Structure 1
Amino acid sequence: MKSKIIVGLILAVFGFNTITAQNMSEMDKKIEKILSQLTLEEKVAMCHAQSKFSSPGVPRLGIPEIWMSDGPHGVRGEINWDNWGYANWTNDSITAFPALTALAATFNPELSYQYGVAVGEEARYRRKDVLLGPGVNIYRTPLNGRNFEYMGEDPLLASVMVVPYIKGVQENGVAACVKHYALNNQEEWRGHINVNVSDRALHEIYLPAFKAAVEEGKVWSIMGAYNKFRGQHCCHNEILLNKILKEDWNFDGTVITDWGGAHDTREAALYGLDIEMGTWTNGLTSSVDLMYENYFLAKPFLKMLQSGEIDESVVDDKARRILRLMLRTNMNMSRSTGRMNNQEHHDVARAVAAEGIVMLKNNDEFFPIDPEKQLTIAVIGENATRRMTVGGGSSELKAQYEISPLEGIKARFQKARILHAMGYASGPSAYGREIPSKYDAELLRNEAVETAKNADVVLYFGGLNKNHFQDCEGGDRKSYELPFEQNELLDALAAVNKNIGVVLISGNAVEMPWLENIKGLMQAWYLGSDAGYAIADVISGDKNPSGKLPFTFPVKLEDNAAHYFGELSYPGDSIDQYYKEGTLVGYRWHETKNIEPQFAFGYGLSYTSFDLSDINTDKKSYETGDKIVLSCSVKNRGEKDGSEVVQVYVGKPGSKVERAVKELKGFTKVELKSGSSETVGIDIDVKNLAYYNTEKADWEVEKGEYILYVGNASNQISKKLKIRID
């Protein structure tokens, strides 16, 4: 309460109490008034950490500290002031929301907004000013250990889904911090690998979601990436931060390092960084007394300013941006107090989880399984009981509760006889190292086979987990196949029972040599607090699956574009790597090179069936300032209510530059009762058909013929339409 009174006093002194979009110019005037009263030392102090998750304010003026927390799937448990141990608070357990891969798979921007509001309320209740998320790095390789935190392989999908998330979070007076800007598409050598990528690929694939976050989402903070781009670390990069972010996109917020992402005082000062956060001193090395004073933007920065080597206008710009962040968050007296662990948050988490589940295979109508039948169900797999809110690196959560898949199945299928066997085992969760399991793999497999022999139904819960070398920060996967001999286990189960359904829990695609031996397959992601309930909702048919894949599942690793070009493309030679596939990422590569995927981008089955018909555009010829208005009739011709995602891809035959056969340019999700139909509209701005012209360093819309592909997956097209751009 005392800090709130102090902040109120300074707000009263400077003449304002609430901050709205209408008085932004007034905000800037107040920033200048505050700035004029700050000493050089105070301005510098605001530019670096004072603890693991806070940066200082100015006590003599009543300007508060900034408190940050890891996200984006929930507010991380409280960390100690000066080390990475947990503080062991008893009141920091939160709602765990589904990972962002699951959110992206919903193809539902409204759910993204609800997610953002809910997680923002929890951050606000925990008195956080900055939530470190969401992540929008592009899914380039299925080996990236951090893909589960991102929104897939397509820049449009990530752009559309990130904007409402940001708006929802920031409604609470909490800054979203979109990360990791930019090109942080692998964990291997992430701290120093120099990414070489064409300007076209940079602007067309890897930057659009960040741009949308800034220009449409009006995000208040951005986190730099660990890696290098064109020889400079991304946390102080002249091209990415000064030229593109702050000049071209007019970003008025604060750039924050990833922890330990700064490497040089002069570059940090001059090339766009505003707040330096970190682990130890000078790039994750060692601890010393008063370590925060030795950060690059601390005493070394102050000395360069005092000597005149760096002009004071440099620190003034940083201080302005930090003050603006404060006025939007901890100095905004109109913001709410937030809420945590309430029923509405649990409902949002469960809704996202159920809607994000993607059904990939359903032979003989294996799914749904009738919960009213007296079946013997064998639940096999460690992932049926393993906690998935812990581990994974900085996105680890201290959930108030976590319902496992086994618990969810038992709760919903009360008339069934439920058997369980682990089948396989990984080691305990550990960040930065791999701990082997203490269990005997052969004994576990034999037990699982015996359990499955006489069951009516086998439900296998496998995939990855959040251990090191799985879906985890700090390291990439070692191979594309399922770990812990799961392939062999699935073969053994199929030999004794043909009625098998697999539920993969992962944030990444996996190799599937066992696919022909199973009847049903669902991709279930990491689904947070209510994971087990949401999975049971879909398996039982209480919820009709409507998720669509936000990235392509290749048959084999070499079918992925990043791996097709060899080690210099991924993971690089430890110094440099080259994105040789250019703009042909994910489905763009598969479609253009005629490589059949295991499962395509945008693909997902339902318990009902849909027809797309009467697909038309408002006209056949457009100019560059026009909007293409496409209409499509969607009919639910099945017996169950359900939702379908209408997807519009656009291609440019005979383009003067290399292009993918087609690229996603619009989508909409429609919910329909059994037997009903609805006409939906999808508008596409002609300017969004542009490619990035590297000779002009600007976007250009080619004139001529285009093809619109309308369907419900990148490789399932119901109709093609030809239009012209004149």
Structure 2
Amino acid sequence: MKFSSLGFPLLGSSIFSSDTDTTQYQIQQRENLAFSPPFYPSPWMDPNAHGWAEAYAKAKDFVSQLTLMEKVNLTTGVGWEGEQCVGNVGSVPRLGFRGLCMQDAPMGVRFADYVSVFPTGQTAAATFDRGLMYQRGLAIGKEHKGKGVNVALGPVAGPIGRIPEGGRNWEGFSPDPVLTGVGMAETVRGIQDAGVVACAKHFIGNEQEHFRQVGESKQRGFNISATLSSNIDDKTMHELYLWPFADAVRAGVGSFMCAYTQVNNSYSCQNSKLQNDLLKNELGFQGFIMSDWQAQHSGVASAVAGLDMTMPGDTEFNTGLSFWGTNLTVAILNGTMPEYRLDDMVMRIMAAVFKVGQTINEPEVNFDSWTADTFGPRHAAVNKGYQQVNYHVDVREEHGNLIREIGAKATVLLKNKGALPLNKPKFVAVIGEDAGPNLAGPNGCDNRGCDNGTLAMGWGSGTANFPYLITPDAALQARAIDDGSRYESILSNYMTKETKALVSQANATAIVFVNADSGEGFIDVDGNAGDRKNLTLWHDGDALIKNVSSWCPNTIVVIHSVGPVIVTDWYDSDNVTAILWAGVPGQETGRSIADVLYGRVNPAGRTPFTWGASRESYGVDIMYQPNNGNGAPQQDFSEGVFIDYRHFDRTNQTPIFEFGYGLSYTTFEYSNIKVAKTQAGPYTPTTGQTAQAPTFGAGNYSKDLKDYLFPKDKFEHIWQYIYPYVNTSTSLADASADPEYGRTAAEFLPPGALDASPQPLLPAAGKSSPGGNAELWDAMYIVTATVTNTGKLAGDEVPQLYLSLGGPADPPVVLRDFARLRIEPGQSAEFRATLTRRDLSNWDVVKQDWVVSEYPKKVWIGSSSRKLPLCADLS
């Protein structure tokens, strides 16, 4: 086996002893990909689960008072545009419970006014700062709380970023599972400390926008009958895609959202392996799973497979039809659906609500997703219930300062030939559309579905309305005026003559702003159907950079982008004196970048992904054309865990900028690595059984359908609104509009789906320990190193610990810990990292448990995934 200069094994086919071994491994991988094994019954809540006991007791008290229809009402959305939020479940007026409001959240409160637009998750990840990730989550949670939202639909670990062109990668954090896991956990803690339930999404393998929905695909001319299937093997699932979701569960997240896509040819929202086995059983998740909007494809079958809430409630928008609602009521009455499963669904929902400190008397929602007017219909779908719907409550507090700080501290200095920081430059010439405003206003494009002006937000459901947007042009002009500098800007990529005339002048410092955008698949921007068509800069940004740098010997490039872009043709030009990646920073983008350019903030951001020399260098790409006739497109994740820097290391490629890379205005040295082994005991696989499935309430519901008819004498029936009431009093079969409910459970439910007896605990599961076996988080080693600031300026440094697991099929190194340290000139700081048992383990597909292999293991410490000067063996 060959090794790199750092001692990493150069993988590729050399991880196997022969080409035959490689072929056999690939065949075995593919055979395991296309099928999702069933797992039943759906695990029920654990009253003793760590962090959930008090919430469980409150939920039990509440749920025990509910009628059958009230329980159904809490599991079923009221329908698209049925009430004021993007998702709402029904109320329990008898007990004073107004129902629940679910609202999109990754960058702020969607569809509301007087809210903030935060940096993307990906931008926050670039700070490599746990504290800032938490503060961002807390602020986002506070704003949702102030608007009356119960559940904030974020954070995002699916997509994790398998494919750099993926449309929604910016909503998540990083293609590295540890960095994403930290982002997930800190964001969950922040949101829920603010009193709002966080929702980890999209579970799982939701890595591209193409073919995520049948209807959306058919509108683009693709005749498919089912959504894309992400085919993922067991080992890859655990070591990569499930890893950050496990961190969210361990952090106490209250809800999950299952995805549109299939996994191993089973829809995510009725995939019993994903929901029952991995999430609720192995990880011990105690909260509730909601469907993505219209991602439910069955009634009782999805319930017994682990789904707890359907969003937005109707089978298709504005049909008035639902898989649950009436049908769920009938299913309980005729015995198709076990009563304990409904009780568990409602218990999980209410426990999540109580866990974050909410009560049954929460304030009313004070905004409306469907109109900016003060007065409007409560039920926008049918224009009913005219009332005040918007109270224009300002929830922003001082969050603009935090947004500015994150944007600056996330900025990655990729290149600097001494051009930065700026110090009262004589003449500043700012070039490019990305420096300026959208002429239609910052919110001028629906769901931000355009790329006009500076890029401060992607597009789709993960957006929010800007309260203001400070452009780079505005911020830099203000600074230039204060400095007495000459300042001119050309906010176009295409005024070639005028640009040349400007930047060719003496003493010019040219700052070129360029971008690359993406978003959700229901919007197409310039032929980019959510996913990017390529990895080049938009609006001929590459040509703009090459032109300006040919005319000006001091050209600084600022990139706002949703992921890596190809910089191969110009990054090493002598006239390109500095390059910065500023991510997608939200409303304070101009002041954030000005703070870095002028040295108010010494940059220490680290790139949360790898910058390859070409599109092909990543080894994976979007599936742009279906590959299975009119069936479900099949996307095999046959690269396993080898995405992003793991792929580059495996194939011995030299990236342009490696994962974790970033420069500073000062310099640092690393020394004195030490490894201390702890006294942690041996690992003990979990054994034993759960308790029997509990039920709450009388359990002796009336079987007379007259008791379940719509009460016309009490309130008006709203068309399209989803209710739990039955349609007729003649028979149970006639009461349902779904033929599934006329059959017995034995006719269509898998074996074990109705089993209420005690169930065996999995070895990797915890006994009342959300996140998995608690011993996986035992600290095994403490690793320390000294970091010294050898320069003349104070600055932050981001030491990173990487681990070589040592096995022939393992990545050369994997990130396991990091910190962001503030160090004064000439001073040193200690970097202290912890390696847990999980960090050291591989997933054993035979034992179905985590195992520390016998292969020798090394730790590496340095400033990026490729700059690791310190190394030590683990005993």
With the length of structure 2 as denominator, give the TM-score of the two structures. Answer: 0.72
Match of 2:640 among 582, 585, 593: 582
CA offset at residue 680 of structure 1? 2.3
Residues 388-431 of structure 1 show CA distances to partners (whole Å, capped at 9, x for unaligned) of: 4565101221122111111111122222222111333xxxxxxx
Alignment of 1:160-239 (within 5 A): 160-191=182-213, 192-215=227-250, 217-239=251-273
For residues 508 and 469 of structure 1, do their structure 2 counterparts lie closer, same or farther at Cα, with a shift above 3 Å needed? farther
CA offset at residue 494 of structure 1? 2.1
Contact in 1 for aligned 2:299/2:323 (Cα 8 Å): yes
Unmatched runs of 5 consecutive residues or more in structure 1: 1-18, 79-91, 425-440
Separation in structure 2 between the aligned mates of residue 550 and residue 637 of structure 1, nearest angstrom: 25
Match of 1:153 among 165, 171, 175: 175
The yes-or-no answer on 1:362 pairing with 2:416 is yes
Residues 659-691 of structure 1 show CA distances to partners (whole Å, capped at 9, x for unaligned) of: 101111111221101111122211212442101
Separation in structure 1 between the aligned mates of residue 622 and residue 467 of structure 2, nearest angstrom: 43
Alignment of 1:370-519 (within 5 A): 370=423, 372-385=424-437, 386=453, 388=455, 392-414=459-481, 415-424=484-493, 441=494, 444-454=495-505, 456-465=508-517, 468=523, 475-512=530-567, 513-517=569-573, 518-519=576-577
Match of 1:352 in 2: 406
Contact in 2 for aligned 1:608/1:636 (Cα 8 Å): yes
476-485 or 332-341, larger mean C-alpha shift: 332-341
Alignment of 1:273-312 (within 5 A): 273-278=307-312, 281-282=314-315, 284=316, 287-288=318-319, 291=320, 294-312=321-339
Separation in structure 1 between the aligned mates of residue 780 and residue 827 of structure 2, nearest angstrom: 29
Match of 2:285 in 1: 251
CA offset at residue 569 of structure 1? 11
The yes-or-no answer on 1:546 pairing with 2:584 is no
For residues 538 and 25 of structure 1, do their structure 2 counterparts lie closer, same or farther at Cα, with a shift above 3 Å needed? closer
Q: Counterpart amino acid of 1:489?
A: L
For residues 391 and 101 of structure 1, do their structure 2 counterparts lie closer, same or farther at Cα, with a shift above 3 Å needed? closer
For residues 673 and 23 of structure 1, do their structure 2 counterparts lie closer, same or farther at Cα, with a shift above 3 Å needed? closer
Contact in 2 for aligned 1:109/1:164 (Cα 8 Å): yes
- Same amino acid, percent of matched pairs: 28
For residues 505 and 246 of structure 1, do their structure 2 counterparts lie closer, same or farther at Cα, with a shift above 3 Å needed? same
316-325 or 148-157, larger mean C-alpha shift: 316-325
With the length of structure 1 as denominator, give the TM-score of the two structures. Answer: 0.86
Separation in structure 2 between the aligned mates of residue 563 and residue 30 of structure 1, nearest angstrom: 48
**SS class of match (1:492):** helix
Match of 2:661 in 1: 603
Residues 42-81 of structure 1 show CA distances to partners (whole Å, capped at 9, x for unaligned) of: 2112112123321112112212210121112211124xxx
Contact in 2 for aligned 1:147/1:471 (Cα 8 Å): no
Match of 1:639 in 2: 792
For residues 348 and 147 of structure 1, do their structure 2 counterparts lie closer, same or farther at Cα, with a shift above 3 Å needed? same
For residues 75 and 317 of structure 1, do their structure 2 counterparts lie closer, same or farther at Cα, with a shift above 3 Å needed? same
CA offset at residue 470 of structure 1? 6.6
For residues 126 and 330 of structure 1, do their structure 2 counterparts lie closer, same or farther at Cα, with a shift above 3 Å needed? farther
Separation in structure 2 between the aligned mates of residue 615 and residue 118 of structure 1, nearest angstrom: 37
Match of 1:134 among 155, 177, 181: 155
Q: Counterpart amino acid of 2:292?
A: D
* Matched pairs, number: 663
**SS class of match (2:787):** strand
The yes-or-no answer on 1:321 pairing with 2:348 is yes
Separation in structure 2 between the aligned mates of residue 514 and residue 298 of structure 1, nearest angstrom: 58
**SS class of match (1:359):** strand
Contact in 2 for aligned 1:108/1:161 (Cα 8 Å): no
Separation in structure 2 between the aligned mates of residue 23 and residue 687 of structure 1, nearest angstrom: 21
Residues 324-347 of structure 1 show CA distances to partners (whole Å, capped at 9, x for unaligned) of: 233235843899999955553122
Contact in 2 for aligned 1:504/1:525 (Cα 8 Å): yes
Contact in 1 for aligned 2:168/2:518 (Cα 8 Å): no
CA offset at residue 703 of structure 1? 2.0
Contact in 2 for aligned 1:102/1:353 (Cα 8 Å): yes
377-386 or 526-535, larger mean C-alpha shift: 377-386
Contact in 2 for aligned 1:642/1:671 (Cα 8 Å): yes
Contact in 2 for aligned 1:180/1:223 (Cα 8 Å): yes
**SS class of match (2:820):** strand
Could you say which structure has the larger radius of gyration?
A: 2
For residues 402 and 521 of structure 1, do their structure 2 counterparts lie closer, same or farther at Cα, with a shift above 3 Å needed? same
Which has the higher relative contact order, 1 or 2, with Cα contacts under 8 A spaced 6 or more apart?
2
Contact in 2 for aligned 1:187/1:473 (Cα 8 Å): no
Unmatched runs of 5 consecutive residues or more in structure 2: 1-46, 214-226, 367-392, 438-452, 684-778
CA offset at residue 165 of structure 1? 1.6
Contact in 1 for aligned 2:193/2:356 (Cα 8 Å): no
Separation in structure 2 between the aligned mates of residue 172 and residue 564 of structure 1, nearest angstrom: 37
Contact in 2 for aligned 1:145/1:470 (Cα 8 Å): no
Contact in 2 for aligned 1:114/1:168 (Cα 8 Å): yes
Q: Counterpart amino acid of 1:159?
A: G
**SS class of match (2:284):** coil
Residues 176-230 of structure 1 show CA distances to partners (whole Å, capped at 9, x for unaligned) of: 1111111111111123110111111110010111101001x10111111111012
Contact in 1 for aligned 2:527/2:533 (Cα 8 Å): no
CA offset at residue 380 of structure 1? 2.9
Separation in structure 1 between the aligned mates of residue 795 and residue 67 of structure 2, nearest angstrom: 61
For residues 410 and 69 of structure 1, do their structure 2 counterparts lie closer, same or farther at Cα, with a shift above 3 Å needed? same
Q: Counterpart amino acid of 2:189?
A: K
Aligned-pair Cα RMSD in Å: 3.0
**SS class of match (1:32):** helix
Residues 527-567 of structure 1 show CA distances to partners (whole Å, capped at 9, x for unaligned) of: 11211101000000110000001111111111113249998
Residues 496-517 of structure 1 show CA distances to partners (whole Å, capped at 9, x for unaligned) of: 1121111000111111122123
Residues 592-639 of structure 1 show CA distances to partners (whole Å, capped at 9, x for unaligned) of: 210111111100000000000111212699986662111111100111
For residues 640 and 578 of structure 1, do their structure 2 counterparts lie closer, same or farther at Cα, with a shift above 3 Å needed? same
Match of 1:433 in 2: none
For residues 65 and 244 of structure 1, do their structure 2 counterparts lie closer, same or farther at Cα, with a shift above 3 Å needed? same
**SS class of match (2:662):** coil
Q: Counterpart amino acid of 2:337?
A: I
Match of 2:115 in 1: 94
Match of 1:86 in 2: none
Match of 2:839 in 1: 688
For residues 563 and 399 of structure 1, do their structure 2 counterparts lie closer, same or farther at Cα, with a shift above 3 Å needed? closer
For residues 23 and 159 of structure 1, do their structure 2 counterparts lie closer, same or farther at Cα, with a shift above 3 Å needed? closer
CA offset at residue 652 of structure 1? 3.1
The yes-or-no answer on 1:671 pairing with 2:819 is no
Q: Counterpart amino acid of 1:368?
A: P
Contact in 1 for aligned 2:476/2:590 (Cα 8 Å): yes
**SS class of match (2:489):** strand
Separation in structure 2 between the aligned mates of residue 546 and residue 334 of structure 1, nearest angstrom: 45
Match of 2:751 in 1: none
CA offset at residue 354 of structure 1? 0.8
Q: Counterpart amino acid of 2:472?
A: P
Match of 1:8 in 2: none
447-456 or 506-515, larger mean C-alpha shift: 447-456
CA offset at residue 466 of structure 1? 5.1
Residues 371-393 of structure 1 show CA distances to partners (whole Å, capped at 9, x for unaligned) of: x2332423333344325456510
Contact in 2 for aligned 1:392/1:471 (Cα 8 Å): no
Q: Counterpart amino acid of 2:466?
A: A
